Structure 1
């Protein structure tokens, strides 16, 4: 079968995105891929809070590629294509407020693809749904449900991490089921479109491009208390916020110029917060990490010379030994001589770090647990407050 790079599809398709704003701050970046020994049919239902409710027109965009590398890349690597799979049915619905696995009767609206209820998906392909009209009451979630079928082998890219939203899944075809009796709670399994948009023109798209710390991992499920979500609340719906933070992601994933970076390229302003996993599991030197960040900035500028790029310092992650030295060298370089093309640097490390000489360590009150330096919801509040003040200067 003929293979295509994701860019081959996106260049024309992404023009449609200009008519829509990003509907949710939940990241659906893909960092893993389904791999089964046998054929399967499965249904997934996810509840997400939209930035605005009421009478809205939604569209869903899909990307059949892995965005970033998981662990050491034995299963999923940044830029890897998904397999062949079939969307058997998809629905958008009023998710209510209970998140109990069901949806209100008569609220489900079919999601179609060129008028068809089904869609065969090819490796590396990107594509749009048709527009979906909904009237979502205030403070109600959107529920997205779809049934996916595939043969054996690798198929659907998805996000695996601690769940930041409530989701359910069921064996078999249950996309049209409203009661939710067949569904069980999902764990570490977020199977969603790559982007959810609603028709809204004239907003500036800010793309937050980072790892699990950007994604919001280890904050409360359905709490929307991570710093990207809080920044979005602070700026209001007049700003289009797209969170493509991805657990275990690293700068060298993005520097490969694949599907993940092509998502970032859709921003008018791109905010890059990478480096923790490069230093940690990626075992990159300071020079390699800074080189990858420079490559990312260069590629973004080549795509759009007018794009505004904000770079974050690398968050403290309780590194020791050589990793601590790399973290210090990288942050010193970012503060004093960031890559050409960067307009400003936001010093997130200064917000989260302990006082010197322990600035490589996260403040204890910001730890998600005694042993886990992922920032918690309190840290999200601190970062968003500092960022909003800095951003508006």
Structure 2
């Protein structure tokens, strides 16, 4: 791990030419041509705090050059001004590796204003960032207010402070712990030609609930580690899971249908959409039928195919023992899974139900993989899911 971090220090200690312009509009920064290396779906958060800084720790997947970050005001009701944004490498907690913290610019300017409902990419930093790096993005807004955009269940310790301490590599000022990511929803790099990414569109299981915090043990994290060890063109992994999210209806986050463009199709280098969602629609007892859910899947697949992406569908896992389970919901789950396996809608299928279910009661999760609430897998279950993914299927034919 130390050996992997040393080249990253070289990357971020290269001094970029910094413009002295006061502010750049969001439209000034072009979309990157690289590959997403980290992502987290944004949702509406509590109101932003003026003068607050956040030091956000994220774990990347694919390595490359020209690191860029995407800042989100997707759920804001007013423009968001960020007057200081830095990227560095984590040493421990809020402390950064010496010499690694570098200012990010936006269209050459140090300050950017993101309109309500929009996102903006930074300019690239020079040099190379290795794969599987703990990258730290520090940002400050002088006048944040109204709903913040971010990801509340990060399962990763980040930090906050009042006042602008973004340029500091010391962690001394960062005394407010937070388990959420604010205003940051993606990081990209320029990877070798032909390198692609997979975006996992899901709910709390994909988001990692019941996996161990701060250790990157969500199933997409295990998948990213497998991809780094394998000779495959798909190397990037974007975790686009939101706890409680549904395919058909808004709730915690917009529905999968409504957030597909921003969270998945707009991410650079995404070659494959990995769709693992539906249990929240089924267990909510709102009258959703198997046909309703299949129609939702079909809408996602058609839009992904139109964008030139291929789609891997995953069967819905067992959840008997969860308080919303009943035989009627189980019947819908079984009908949906039969269609996923045999309906021919998807370019490839991963059978998470088969991986997770107990051989003694197929409606229930295998106890050794159960995180304790009978719907979310533990670390071992997360790894078993990632191990079940056919890596060659992630690079399927996307000529649509």
Q: Per the shorter chain, which TM-score range? A: 0.7 to 0.9
C-alpha distance in structure 1 between counterparts of 2:30 and 2:313, whole Å: 28
Match of 1:190 among 157, 170, 181: 181
1:33 counterpart residue number: 45
**Mapped contact 1:85–1:149 kept (Cα < 8 A):** no
* C-alpha distance in 1 between matches for 2:107 and 2:391: 45
Match of 1:367 in 2: 370
Residue pairs, 1:52-71, within 5 angstroms: 56-66=65-75
Tell me the number of residue pairs that the alignment of Structure 1 and Structure 2 aligns: 352
Structure 2 residue aligned with 1:378, among 373, 377, 380? 380
| 1:318-357 pair list within 5 angstroms | 318=320, 319-339=325-345, 342-355=346-359
Matched, 1:203 2:169: no
- Taking only aligned residues, the RMSD between alpha carbons, in angstroms, comes to 2.9
**Partner residue in 2 for 1:77:** none
**In the alignment, structure 1 residue 277 sits paired with structure 2 residue 280:** yes
* Alpha-carbon separation, structure 2, partners of 1:159 and 1:317: 25
For 1:258 and 1:87, the matched residues in 2 are separated by 24
Q: Which residue of 1 aligns with 2:53?
A: 43
How far residue 105 of structure 1 moved from its aligned partner, in angstroms, is 4.0
Deviation, 1:114, is 1.1
Contact 1:160–1:189 (Cα < 8 Å) also in 2? yes
3-state SS of 1:29 partner: coil
Show the counterpart of 1:86: 81
Q: Please, which of 97, 102, 105 is the counterpart of residue 112 of structure 1? A: 105
Q: 1:216 aligns with which of 184, 198, 208?
A: 208
**Cα distance between partner residues in 1 of 2:256 and 2:238:** 16
In structure 2, how many angstroms separate the alpha carbons of the residues matched to 1:139 and 1:31?
Answer: 25
* Aligned equivalent of 1:76: none
Q: Is the 8 A contact 2:350 2:390 kept in 1?
A: no
Equivalent in 153, 168, 171 of residue 177 of structure 1: 168
1:250 and 1:89 map into 2 onto residues whose CA distance is: 35
- The match for 1:251 among 244, 247, 269 is 247
Q: Is contact 1:279-1:327 (8 Å) kept?
A: yes
User: 1:361 deviation in Å?
Assistant: 1.7
Unaligned runs of 5+ in 1: 1-8, 67-80
Aligned match for 2:123, one of 118, 124, 130: 130
**Structure 1 runs of 4+ off > 4 angstroms?**
134-140, 389-393
Q: Please give the TM-score of this superposition, normalised by the length of structure 2.
A: 0.79
Go from structure 1 to structure 2 and tell me whether the alpha carbon gap of 1:266 and 1:294 turns closer, same or farther (over 3 Å shift): farther
1:308 aligns with 2:314: no
Show structure 2 runs of 5+ residues with no match. 1-25, 249-254
- 2:3 is matched with none
Given that 1:231 and 1:388 are in contact with CA atoms closer than 8 Å, whether structure 2 keeps it comes out as no
* Alpha-carbon distance, 1:87 to partner: 0.7
- Over 3 Å counting, the alpha-carbon distance change for 1:300 and 1:137 in structure 2 is closer
CA distance change for structure 1 residues 137 and 345 in 2, over 3 Å: closer, same or farther? closer
Q: Distance in 2 between matches of 1:337 and 1:59?
A: 39
- Are residues 391 and 124 of structure 1, via their aligned partners in 2, closer, same or farther at CA, if it must alter by over 3 Å? same
> Could you tell me how far apart the structure 2 residues matched to 1:189 and 1:224 are?
15
Q: How far off is 1:302 after superposition?
A: 2.5
What's 1:287 paired with?
291
Taking a change above 3 Å as real, the CA distance of residues 184 and 328 of structure 1, as seen in their structure-2 partners, is: farther
8 Å Cα contact 2:304/2:310 also seen in 1: no
Q: Are the aligned partners of 1:41 and 1:147 in contact in 2 as well (CA < 8 Å)?
A: yes
- Aligned counterparts of 1:139 and 1:255: Cα–Cα separation in 2: 30
- Secondary structure (helix, strand or coil) at the match of 1:322 reads helix
Q: Deviations over 1:80-136 (max 9, x none)?
A: x6542111211011212x2x2122343310011111111111112222101113566
